[in-house]
């Protein structure tokens, strides 16, 4: 009713569906015809979005809490008038333990941190690039995952998936058992893990182990918390964002490599295509 008299509104054409096949119990004010309700007509939603982006209907717009990158994109020239209107937003929910611990209060604190925490200096951040030399020895074309080797608790572990889509570092129960680690090192965990398909996995426990990536003088060693899971998986370990962000790692799946800064230059870990394809076959 608010927009029906606006000259800027683009009205829809008449419906072509035969009259005898329409649902007469539903009427659309925007289509001015029977078949569906006004609220269910997506074209009207797109028109309202377009009007909002052109500066109309400001009294219906709340405080904009979108992420910074969305706000920056909105400020690009012409974005307000030529950008494709959207009907809504679809978010992805991930599992894992927030940086502030395995409690409800810790997770709430973590969600608020982005608005208050900034880096004091960017001097410590080193530039990392990938070039033609990083492509040597790789079979193309490929869609292989980045599967690497690392030293974990003095064991060389070869089937390690580098996954920047994972909110947790994962250690398989089988690999944990082979390491012969004392159960006293395990800590309880309450927060479940949720996979892409929506399945819920309760980790057995959490264990902190030293992990070494790289070789020679450009190695990095971090005490890394792993969530031990007792479920079939093709990989012994999954390295997620908690570790990747901590060591400031940059991952290139195209180059099948991961690079990170160290005190003696840029360290690199390269993927093993043979292992990646063996894990792929195991997974399916």
Is 108 inside a domain boundary?
A: no
Domain co-membership, 222 together with 154: yes
- Whichever domain contains 210, its CATH number is 2.40.70.10
pLDDT of the residue at 199: 67
Is 111 inside a domain boundary?
A: no
CB neighbour list of residue 236: distance below 8 Å, 6 or more residues apart:
157, 158, 159, 160, 171, 172, 174, 175
Q: Domain tally for the chain?
A: 2
Task: Tell me the C-alpha distance between 213 and 85, whole Å.
Answer: 45
Is 67 inside a domain boundary?
A: yes
Is 5 inside a domain boundary?
A: no
Domain co-membership, 246 together with 146: yes
- pTM over 0.75, yes/no: no
Domain co-membership, 270 together with 165: yes
Domain co-membership, 194 together with 273: yes
Domain co-membership, 67 together with 164: no
Domain co-membership, 195 together with 267: yes
pLDDT of the residue at 74: 47
Domain co-membership, 141 together with 201: yes
Is 120 inside a domain boundary?
A: no
3-state secondary structure of 101: strand
Beta bridge partners of 162: 239
Q: What is the DSSP letter of 55?
A: T
- Segments in 54-181 forming alpha helices (H): 68-74, 79-82, 104-113, 173-179
Domain co-membership, 37 together with 178: no
Domain co-membership, 192 together with 257: yes
Q: Output the CA torsion sign for 135, 138, 140, 145.
A: negative
Is 98 inside a domain boundary?
A: no
Look up the domain containing 72 and give its range: 19-82
Beta bridge partners of 267: 260
pLDDT of the residue at 94: 47
Domain co-membership, 68 together with 152: no
Is 105 inside a domain boundary?
A: no
Domain co-membership, 72 together with 203: no
Is 166 inside a domain boundary?
A: yes
pLDDT tens digits for the chain (284 residues)?
A: 777 777 777 766 666 667 767 677 777 766 667 666 767 666 777 778 877 877 787 777 765 555 545 544 444 444 444 455 665 555 443 455 555 555 555 555 555 565 555 555 445 667 898 988 889 899 989 999 999 999 999 899 999 999 988 888 999 989 998 998 888 888 888 777 776 555 677 778 899 999 999 988 999 999 999 999 888 889 999 999 999 999 999 999 999 999 999 988 999 999 999 999 999 998 88
Segment 214-219 long-range contacts (CB within 8 Å, at least 24 positions apart): 214/260, 214/262, 214/267, 214/268, 214/269, 215/267, 217/262, 217/264, 217/265, 218/262, 218/264, 218/265, 218/266, 218/267, 218/268, 219/262, 219/267
Going by C-alpha positions, the residue among 245, 267, 265 that lies closest to residue 150 is 267
Task: Tell me the C-alpha distance between 143 and 48, whole Å.
Answer: 41
Provide the token pair at 28. Answer: 């659309």
Domain co-membership, 71 together with 147: no
């Amino acid at each position: 009713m608010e927009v029906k008299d606006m000259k800027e509104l683009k009205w829809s054409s008449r419906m072509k569906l035969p009259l005898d096949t329409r649902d007469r119990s539903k009427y659309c004010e925007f289509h001015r015809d029977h078949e569906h309700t006004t609220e269910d007509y997506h074209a009207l939603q797109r028109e309202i979005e377009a009007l909002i982006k052109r500066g109309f209907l400001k009294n219906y717009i709340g405080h904009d809490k979108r992420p910074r990158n969305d706000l920056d994109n909105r400020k690009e020239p012409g974005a307000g008038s030529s950008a494709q209107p959207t009907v809504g937003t679809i978010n992805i929910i991930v599992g894992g333990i927030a940086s502030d611990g395995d409690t409800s209060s810790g997770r709430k604190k973590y969600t608020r941190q982005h608005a208050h925490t900034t880096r004091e200096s960017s001097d410590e951040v080193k530039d990392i690039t990938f070039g033609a030399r990083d492509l040597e020895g790789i079979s193309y074309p490929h869609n292989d995952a980045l599967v690497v080797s690392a030293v974990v608790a003095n064991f060389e572990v070869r089937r390690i998936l580098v996954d920047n889509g994972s909110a947790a570092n994962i250690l398989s129960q089988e690999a944990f058992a082979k390491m012969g680690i004392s159960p006293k090192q395990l800590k309880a965990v309450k927060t479940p893990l949720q996979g892409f398909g929506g399945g819920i996995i309760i980790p057995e426990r959490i264990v902190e182990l030293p992990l070494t990536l790289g070789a020679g003088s450009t190695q990095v060693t971090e005490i890394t918390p792993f969530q031990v899971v007792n479920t079939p998986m093709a990989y012994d370990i999954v390295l997620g964002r908690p570790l990747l962000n901590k060591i400031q790692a940059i991952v290139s799946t195209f180059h099948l490599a991961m690079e990170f800064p160290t005190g003696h230059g840029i360290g690199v870990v390269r993927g093993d295509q043979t292992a990646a394809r063996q894990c792929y076959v195991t997974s399916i």
